[in-house]
């Protein structure tokens, strides 16, 4: 049996086929599909690698998608350097009703205070949270970690290498904001000096 170019295995032809498909569909359409099927946030670099498109073109398409999903039932969330499609927080009541989650427990005041500190000071350690609140943060942190609203994002380069915490992309969906830059400005005390510091993004 002879093999002709037309009999070339599909796997070998996939890269070129994928490139043509991106051109035929449009990069924005491909990115939208990737975000839809992903079970986690995708970065610009990941999408660029998958599609073969330059990272700058992916970023431009992301900006256009953000405009497309303004005031829609699906929103594009940006957290850290990742993007994710989620249902609009404004429709959360109906989504919870569909999923049988109407009896959702509210966060305690302690958990909300701790979450606010993490959102504005991230990355932040347990001891830094406790310095700001003046009380133990174990219970509140455990609640937030169990809800998936915060996550471990690294370790501080000091003796003992304490864990640093930051907000997750679920945090954005929970409170109905598209990125940390949308957080209002808030003065929080400096954990070392007790002085207020202004922050709008949570980055020191």
Whether the model clears a pTM of 0.85, i.e. scores above it, the answer is no
Distance CA 32, CA 9 (A): 28
For the chain, domains (ranges, CATH) are 5-90 (1.10.10.10), 105-199 (1.10.10.10)
With H, G, I as helix, E, B as strand and everything else as coil, classify residue 86: strand
The pLDDT, as a whole number, for residue 99 is: 65
Residues 106-135 have pLDDT tens digits of 788 999 999 999 999 999 999 999 999 989
More confident site: 19 or 32: 32
pLDDT band at 204 (very low <50, low <70, confident <90, very high): very low
Length of the chain: 204
């Amino acid at each position: 049996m002879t093999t002709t170019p037309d009999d070339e295995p599909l796997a070998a032809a996939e890269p070129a086929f994928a490139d043509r498909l991106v051109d035929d569909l449009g990069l924005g359409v491909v990115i939208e599909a990737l975000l839809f099927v992903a079970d986690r946030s995708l970065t610009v670099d990941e999408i660029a690698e998958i599609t073969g498109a330059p990272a700058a073109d992916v970023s431009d398409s992301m900006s256009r998608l953000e405009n497309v999903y303004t005031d829609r039932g699906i929103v594009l969330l940006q957290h850290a350097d990742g993007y994710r499609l989620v249902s609009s927080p404004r429709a959360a009541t109906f989504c919870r009703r569909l999923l049988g989650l109407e009896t959702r427990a509210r966060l305690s005041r302690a958990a909300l205070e701790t979450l606010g500190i993490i959102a504005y000071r991230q990355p932040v350690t347990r001891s830094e949270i406790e310095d700001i609140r003046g009380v133990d943060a174990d219970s509140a942190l455990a609640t937030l970690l169990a809800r998936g609203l915060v996550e471990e994002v690294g370790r501080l380069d000091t003796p003992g290498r304490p864990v640093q915490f930051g907000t997750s992309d679920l945090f954005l969906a929970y409170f109905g904001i598209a990125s940390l830059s949308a957080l209002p400005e808030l003065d929080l005390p400096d954990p070392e000096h007790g002085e207020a510091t202004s922050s709008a993004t949570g980055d020191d």
